[in-house]
Homo-oligomer: A and B are copies of this chain.
Amino acid sequence: MISSELASKLKFLEEGSKILFIVIDGVGGLPLPETGLTELETAFTPNLNKMASRGITGMSMPIAPGIAPGSGVAHLALFGYDPIKYAIGRGAIAAYGVNLDMEKGNVAVRVNFAGFSPEGAVMDRRAGRLSTEKNMKLCKMLRDIKIPGVDIIVETVLDYRSVVIFKGEGLYPNLSDSDPQRVGKSIFPGEIKALDDESSSMKEIAIKFVNMANEILKEGAKGIADLENDQHVGILTRGYSWRPEIPSMKDLYKLNKLGAFATYPDYRGVAKIVGMEIAYTGDELEEQIDVLEKSIDKYDFFFFHVKKTDSAGEDGNFHKKVHLIEEFDNLVPRLEQLDIDVKVVTGDHSTPATFKGHSWHPVPFVLNGKWCRPDNVKGFSESQCEKGALGQFQATEAMLYALGMAGRIAKFGA
């Protein structure tokens, strides 16, 4: 793990070498009871297996044993940040993900549209599978909300997700969410709590905002969201947060320019927060690779994110996850041909389809590069990579492996 003490004593070299860092979201899995094989073990992945044969492998532990991470902290760990120290709020991730800039003292929060029962319980966490276009209409209504002393920015993220930034004096972000996380439960706006004394004025603003938003949407969203008869649209708020104070990867590792090839807003948000440029691409993997191929001269670090595997795991769809892994494997030859010195494939965490959620299980990891010492592992899967030469290691060490193999870390000590 790159402790700040170690990092401060290392000298990173500004070599011309390039690193491709591929994160297949939630790729780690658990065996299907009928077959005893995980998603990766079930999938036909000749190209990833070739990378494993040529490379060095191991298992990456996202945070610590037993601890399932959110995607934000899991990515931060892979990028070499102590995920405990730099736990970044959901609101800030969402804001950066849609290219909003935050100033010091601004408070951002993720706002999800949802369907509520007449009694105020959350019944449909996706607001009738709200489309991004409809979301834009709802956000437009919320822009009418005025609260004295604060400027309010409302922006659509994706589907039922949006983000709000509050700008004003003396705003502290330590508030509880207004999201009960479970269907059938309610947290009324008045129940939002200030978790420290400084945040009490922000608490009043948050309560006002949620109340006013719910009032506007109750009638205004009728006929827009496709809800069950007795439901109405309201909002859930999660992750009130300040702008994160975090060193950029550029400064940390003396990289010249970093590009993020990610289609989902939250991953773009994390990437932007750590100092990457967002390379806008279409939503499909092939389009991501098209743009990547054209950007080879532009960056020396490429973060490539594969999202859909995680969603399939969360939905409990084992076979879809297998299929998505195979779909990615098909495209690996294009990535292999790129003139990039070090190539890493791993996941941010496991999302076993049998578990239907993020889990703590360590994740297969493979690194290809001229200076890696290949091990005997011939396949990219849990049961194979756990026999790899890297053993089980902390995700926060991954960047050291990548940078070292790219010749970008100077000899340490006399």
A73 beta carbon closer than 8 Å to chain B: yes
Name the one of B67, B361, B391 contacting A373, with C-beta atoms under 8 angstroms.
B361
Return the CB mask of A49-92 against B: 1 if under 8 Å, else 0.
00000000001000111111111111000000001100111100
Which residues of chain B have C-beta atoms less than 8 A from A359's C-beta? 371
Return the CB mask of A360-402 against B: 1 if under 8 Å, else 0.
1110000000010111100000110010011111000101111
Q: Which residues of A87-106 are within 8 A (CB) of B?
A: 87-90, 93
A358 beta carbon closer than 8 Å to chain B: yes
Check A66–B401 contact: CB distance below 8 A: yes
Per the bound structure, the CA–CA distance linking A360 and B408 in Å amounts to 12
Which residues of chain B have C-beta atoms less than 8 A from A74's C-beta? 413
Specify how many copies of this chain sit in the oligomer: 2
Which residues of chain B have C-beta atoms less than 8 A from A59's C-beta? 389
A173 beta carbon closer than 8 Å to chain B: no
A23 beta carbon closer than 8 Å to chain B: no
Check B374–A31 contact: CB distance below 8 A: yes
Stretch at the interface among A4-12, A303-311, A328-336: A4-12
A324 beta carbon closer than 8 Å to chain B: no
**Known: A373-B361, A392-B390, A414-B89. Contact between A66 and B383, CB under 8 A?**
no
In whole Å, how far is A21's beta carbon from the nearest beta carbon of chain B? 14
Per the bound structure, the CA–CA distance linking A240 and B392 in Å amounts to 39
**Known: A66-B402, A373-B30, A400-B67. Contact between A9 and B87, CB under 8 A?**
yes
Check A386–B383 contact: CB distance below 8 A: no
Per the bound structure, the CA–CA distance linking A412 and B87 in Å amounts to 9
- Which chain B residue has the least Cβ–Cβ distance from A266? B414
A404 beta carbon closer than 8 Å to chain B: yes
Per the bound structure, the CA–CA distance linking A6 and B30 in Å amounts to 26
Which residues of chain B have C-beta atoms less than 8 A from A224's C-beta? none
Which residues of chain B have C-beta atoms less than 8 A from A374's C-beta? 31
- Which chain B residue has the least Cβ–Cβ distance from A350? B373
**Known: A72-B413, A239-B414, A412-B73. Contact between A65 and B371, CB under 8 A?**
no
Check A65–B376 contact: CB distance below 8 A: no
Check A5–B84 contact: CB distance below 8 A: yes
Which residues of chain B have C-beta atoms less than 8 A from A90's C-beta? 414
Check A70–B411 contact: CB distance below 8 A: yes
A405 beta carbon closer than 8 Å to chain B: yes
Which residues of chain B have C-beta atoms less than 8 A from A64's C-beta? 1-2, 6, 397, 400
Which residues of chain B have C-beta atoms less than 8 A from A175's C-beta? none
Known A-B contacts: A69-B412, A360-B409. Give 14 more (CB < 8 A).
A63-B412, A64-B397, A65-B393, A65-B400, A65-B404, A66-B402, A69-B413, A70-B414, A72-B413, A83-B412, A89-B414, A355-B371, A358-B411, A362-B389
> Which 7 A-B residue pairs are closest in the complex by CB-CB distance?
A66-B404, A73-B413, A66-B400, A90-B414, A65-B400, A70-B413, A72-B414
Listed in ascending order, the chain A residues whose CB lies under 8 Å from chain B are: 1-2, 5-6, 9-10, 30-31, 38, 59, 63-74, 83-84, 87-90, 93, 239, 355, 357-362, 371, 373-376, 382-383, 386, 389-393, 397, 399-405, 409, 411-414
